Amino acid sequence: MELPLGPCDDSRGWDDDSDPESETDPDVQAEAYVARVLSPPKSELATPRPSQLSMPASSPSASEPRAVSRVSAVSEPGLLSLPPELLLEICSYLDARLVLHVLSRVCHALRNLVRDHVTWRLRAQRRVRAPYPVVEEKNFDWPAACIELEQHLSRWAEDGRWAEYFCLANGHISSIDSVLLLQGGALCLSGSRDRNVNLWDLRQLGMEPSQVLVKTLGTDRFSTHKVRGQGWVWSLAAQDHCVCSGSWDSTVKLWDMASDGQQFGEIKTNSAVLCLSYLPDILVTGTYDKKVTIYDPRAGPALLKSQQLHSRPVLALLADDQHIISGSEDRTLVVVDRRANRVLQRLQLDSYLLCMSHQDMQLWTGDSEGLLHVFANRNGCFQLVRSFNVGHRSHITGIQYSLGALYTTSTDKTLRVHVPTDPPRTICTRRHDSVFTGVCAEGNLVVAASTGLSLEVWRLQA
């Protein structure tokens, strides 16, 4: 349900960074937050709720368009004399990357055939045998989607038996609440309640632990963030070689990975920093005091604007060149138009969102009841188009979506690997002794953080 825009949505409110609330002990505040927001509900073991807004899955063959024949007739017997249907059948046994990048260079006839998007749409839908994608935009990249789908299915085939597993358990002495992959998965950052941000070199997986753990960021002898008081590291974000870490000590610290992880800036806020989004021209924070604040990381960093968009703490945040999207414990999703400097939408939800991931026109979110929600960006407005139950019994703490892959983690102590169809198909589940707090996937690596003081790493086939 979309709520009417209220007085707090006036763009003039952006510049008000005052904090009318009285100061609260950060230790007590942090403990109360975790108990309230992340504690499993009493009905955790109840039967999973049925999918919401789900539509009957139609047979792919019934709605599949037919590929247009563009292969020229030839007089001499040979491969090109075969009907297009047979050529496509032959191509279906070849790697999608080879078909797209190599076969298309053989001749004009094959190039026309394999560059037809209908060809790739047919191939993708036959691979997944379910409606795909959940939201199809006008210029959907079918070749890229098909390549990623096939790679994802191959990597996690047979319940992921070919994925190499590593446990990095010697870097933190308290729960790890944030994880971030850098440089195509070569490096990894982890933020913990021990107040440290650790840098890991995942190219050294399988070697001695001392070779994998590179360093702890910061010059302080004991921790990256504040030692006294509550300095839990709760969020991480990156832009190129620059990284920022947000903490319960009400600071955001900026690090230059091109300079061996040296600190090059610090932002002091009025409250705990729970989520971050980092773009070349802006750094956006979501804080415990219900505010969304924008900084220019290139200048100082300098405060640009701040507004209290919610009535409870801001738990999840995303930004791109057009929008800033925030989810809160007040069970609202707020969309801000960056260019017009005003609130576009305020959507009231049935539960609060803990994590978000988006690509192109799709926004995937995970909530406090173990459900996934998909929003479509249609002409600048976000609409809830599907809600799914993918088997989680409690809060979804992490989500990563791409054209051909979907990963989710939960306080039910599972990481689930899905194909992003309608509904998502779970192809692999990994269980842990402790709660998973987040997930990140890049290149051929998947890393999940846990309250068990470890990073769980899966190295997939390249």
pLDDT at 218: 87
Q: Per residue of the chain (462 residues), what is the pLDDT tens digit? A: 666 565 455 544 565 555 555 566 767 777 787 777 777 665 544 444 444 444 444 444 444 455 444 444 444 567 778 888 888 888 888 888 888 888 888 888 888 888 888 889 989 989 999 999 998 888 889 999 999 999 999 999 999 999 999 999 989 999 999 999 999 999 999 999 999 999 999 999 988 888 999 999 987 766 777 755 578 999 999 999 999 999 999 999 999 999 999 999 999 999 999 999 999 999 999 999 999 999 998 887 899 999 999 999 999 999 999 999 999 999 999 999 998 889 999 999 999 999 999 988 899 999 999 999 999 998 888 999 999 999 999 999 999 999 999 999 999 999 999 999 999 999 999 999 999 999 999 999 999 999 999 999 999 987
pLDDT at 21: 52
User: Which two three-digit tokens encode residue 238?
Assistant: 């990156």
CA 415 – CA 160 distance, rounded (Å): 12
- b/e burial code for range 133-158 (CB count within 10 A of at least 16 → b): bbbeeeebebbebbbbbbbbbebbee
Question: How far is the C-alpha of 440 from the C-alpha of 187, rounded, in Å?
Answer: 12
- Cβ atoms of residues 243 and 257 within 8 Å: yes
Continuous segment of H or E residues that includes residue 96: helix 96-101
Contact 105, 84 (CB under 8 A): no
Count CA within 13 A, CB hemisphere, residue 329: 18
- pLDDT of 47: 47
Helix (H, G, I), strand (E, B) or coil at 155: helix
pLDDT reported for residue 45: 44
Decide if 171 contacts 210 (C-beta within 8 A).
no
State residue 68 phi and psi, 5-degree precision. Answer: -85, 130
Q: What pLDDT was estimated at residue 112?
A: 82
pLDDT of residue 428: 97
The C-alpha atoms of residue 183 and residue 418 are separated, in whole angstroms, by 24
**Predicted structure pTM score:** 0.86
135: left (phi over 0), alpha (psi -120 to 50) or beta: beta
